[in-house]
Chain A
Amino acid sequence: MARGGNVLGRGLAKAGRVALFLGRILGQAIPSLNHPRLLVAQIYNTGARSLIIVMLCGLFVGMVLGLQGYDLLQRFGSESALGVAAALGLVKELGPVITALLFAGRAGTSLTSEIGLMRATDQLTAMEMMAVDPVRRVVAPRFLGGIIAMPLLVAIFDVVGIYGAQLIGVGLLRVESGSFWSQMQSAVEMRDINEGLVKSVVFGVACSLMAVYEGFHAEPTAEGVGLATTRTVVISAVLTLLFDYLLTAAFLNS
């Protein structure tokens, strides 16, 4: 019992520290825009370099959706609704969630190990000693870069996924092309797009924040950086799925 309380206490303490760190980052967010080059480099780092993996996985997920959706719908004779199933499934759920997990795995670990290495080689301390705020110089651009990159990656994932579903559905399984698109267009509403957009931003904040937090607070050893990288992925995944539930419920109720 005491052990459980201890874990809870540590969890709360960590949540508090992460929240405080977020406050510190936000405080330095505007000043960090004085170095736009840094932000551009980070959008490239987190976004452009994740493009291949996001498009590949989007294609495969879309194709699977095509197959599974067809299999499910044709039991009700509603294969023509495949476009609806694929679009809604991707835009509302699979796009934001899977992209976030991919982001945590590829960009998140990269951020954590990069910042962790700077911590381990005293680069961050050196900056402090040179009276340069490492949060402004190193952390904030990376955090903002991740937040900007995430919704874009999700949108790309969604589009590639829908085409993947069409590839299988219309191309392979002979679903009527007109119905595929027309039913999708009449069933998908702006609020579905909004839901996906809000989720992608929230997931982007969560994953980017955890990545930079763990890197910044890693133990300054090789082992410490490795552990921090693992924590980034695990906590990002859990947070993503938790927020997914909360946001889905919120959107359903409104």
Chain B
Amino acid sequence: MPAEAVVEVRDLRYSIGGRAIFDGLNLTVRRGEITAVMGPSGTGKTTLLRLMMGAIRPDSGDLTIFGERPWRLGRAALYALRRRVGMLFQNGALMSDLDVFENVAFPLRAHTRLPEPLLRRLVLMKLQAVGLRGAAEFATGSLSGGMARRVALARAIVMDPELLIYDEPFAGLDPISLAVILRLIQTLNATLGITSIVVTHDVEEISQIAHSSFLLAGGKAAAHGTPAELRATEAPVVRQFMSGLPDGPMPFHVPAPDYREQLLGKD
């Protein structure tokens, strides 16, 4: 029996300035699973996250997270919802005026009244989980991209969220850091049972650990299934993306006037 849905998206439509970002999107995230949300750049993956977190509202259709429609919630209820979700931003988004320890401690200080020794232990435990306990005193500016992202991950899990959202966690990382993050995502999911949504276009990497994948194209879920199913599918859009082909349903050439005419002029 499939696990319950943490996030349910039904027939979602959303456009900005006349351009349709989502045109009937259907997507489900099941509890305890790693769900990959893939797609070429500009298909609205980040917009989906903002809809999920209640930052924007859809034009039509339905989106529920933990059974709630986030855009309908008042500020207090919305904040309560957000406390159940940990989010890892693409560039880490650490507070530049705090050191590593204080960054991870930030949500604890903001939402709890834990005594200092207990708070300290929690922070160190989370830093240990991402392998950065020795970097607790480091200044944020001195961290490499990979380390910054790991600190951000420690911060995202410090409140023991039920859902973790990773926004492009592999972007711009060297192979070693990449492997580290991959392993962390998998470990956190396996040991703590945290439902995880990974938004990415690194097909190879995410296919190794995802339970369920959705490929967004043309404002819809062009394909979904396990990574193996997606790799085996015949649909041209999916083929092009999964195999990394330069030309296909996503054309290489941007629409342009006739080549000969533009080059040689109209005779």
Contact = CB atoms under 8 A, between A and B. Distances in A.
Interface of A: 117-118, 121-123, 125-126, 128-133, 137
A122 B93 contact: yes
Nearest to B156: A130
13 contacts: A117-B96, A118-B95, A121-B91, A126-B87, A126-B89, A129-B87, A130-B83, A130-B87, A130-B106, A131-B78, A131-B83, A131-B110, A132-B106
A118 B107 CA distance: 17
Interface string B69-111: 0000000001110110101011101111000000000110011
Given A125-B93, A126-B89, 10 more contacts: A123-B94, A123-B96, A126-B87, A128-B82, A129-B53, A129-B85, A130-B83, A130-B87, A130-B110, A132-B106
Contact of A132 (B80, B90, B93, B110): B110
Given A121-B96, A123-B95, A123-B96, A130 B89 contact: no
Contacts of B82: 128-131
B144 to A, nearest CB: 16
A224 B82 CA distance: 28
B245 interface: no
Contact of A122 (B78, B85, B89): B89
A121 B155 CA distance: 16
B55 interface: yes
Contacts of A132: 106-107, 110
Interface in B147-204: 155
A131 B93 contact: no
B96 A131 contact: no
A131 B79 contact: yes
Contact of B80 (A117, A122, A131): A131
Contacts of B95: 118, 123
B110 A121 contact: no
Contacts of B89: 122, 125-126
Contacts of A128: 55, 82
A121 B80 contact: no
Contacts of B107: 130, 132
